[in-house]
Structure 1
Amino acid sequence: MEHDWILSAAEGNYDTLLGFISEDLLTRKDFISGYTVLHWLAKNGQDETLLKLLTYSQTLELNVNVNVRGSGGLTPLHLASMHSQYMVIKLLVGAFEANVDAMDYNGKRPWQYLKEDAPQEMRELLGTWDEDHRCHRTNNVNKNNNTTEIFETIIWNQVEFDAQQETHFETTQTRNNWRLDNVVTPSRWRFWQLFKQEKLLG
């Protein structure tokens, strides 16, 4: 049964996966690749099958960890980024709150596996903007040891911008920091609800 499960995962065969579905099999790793069913679906860009599988698992109240680590500490989101599976990235992050800050055993986050020609939308979604901004602010602090500027830098990363700022930002909490996203980008929640609706009704 385990062999059939792995083959079905690699092929994105939802009907077969559904016949075998269980919490144990959803997190079981292929002894050769070290990948779970979620890894295979993410790697192969099977976004529709992944959506159906995770949604159905939720209805059964199965505890499915979308941040499960495979070989090398790679999560499904790492693999989706590595193989330019953009719909899977949107699905994992937007609908199932995959951790964009998860590091593999090489210390790399998912965005660091994006190819150079990856859309800016994907870079922002995976937190590249946050990382670049964090590095920029750190460099500014290193150039000036003024205590006030250091304090302002810390505040910058932990609270919302003042309402009087010309640019408004939406905030979502990631671990203990505030992540800042320009309001020009449509609301993630609204976008992903539309995404899920389109996939489920399509």
Structure 2
Amino acid sequence: MKPVRLIEGRSAALRIENLDTDQIMPKQFLRGIDKNGLREGLFYDLRFDAQGVARPEFVLNQPAYADVSVLIAGNNFGCGSSREHAVWGLQQAGIRAVVAPSFGEIFYSNAMGNGLLLVTLPEADVRGLMDDADQGGRNAVAIDVEALTLSAASSPDHAMRFEMLPRHQRMLLEGLDAIGLSMTYQDQIAAFAARHWAAQPWLKDVAVGAS
């Protein structure tokens, strides 16, 4: 993963409450054994009708929002079943951050573990960002992962503060996934193991040679 310190980009508003992972990445796009091709499945049933024709009213189908990198979403974004494919599809489509009043818990962990920044803000602030996004020319945002602030083009002097677990902040700033973060504690893990076996040597390799 690449370190993430500052995300600057244009935003789009998804005014949908409880948008679940089945809608973010429908089941028919989960057949592959790798991460490839998920961009095509992102929000598929929202983007296309039953005949596969693009829905012009869906915001991400509109030319003005073709290159957005930040989604401003409704409450409980990413609820539903656990599927990292939803996170990977968003990233493959160029989405680097999602801002919402709340997120599905499992989706939140999957996103932050894969370097997709999720920002939780009060509903009033999210509604303001949605209004900015709908106006097109005022939909640029800047998210500072180190300072934990979000600034909008409509009010650049007003930085909205958000919170994040120190663990997630470190993972983003240093470009670490969950395994990479664990590997930074190798010395402590080795020291713990040495103390454990020294105190209880009869447990070490107890199964070696067992048939």
What TM-score, normalized to structure 1?
A: 0.32
Which protein is bigger by CA-based radius of gyration? 2
More strand per residue: 2
Q: Relative contact order (alpha carbons < 8 A, sep ≥ 6): 1 or 2 greater?
A: 2
What TM-score, normalized to structure 2?
A: 0.31
More helix per residue: 1
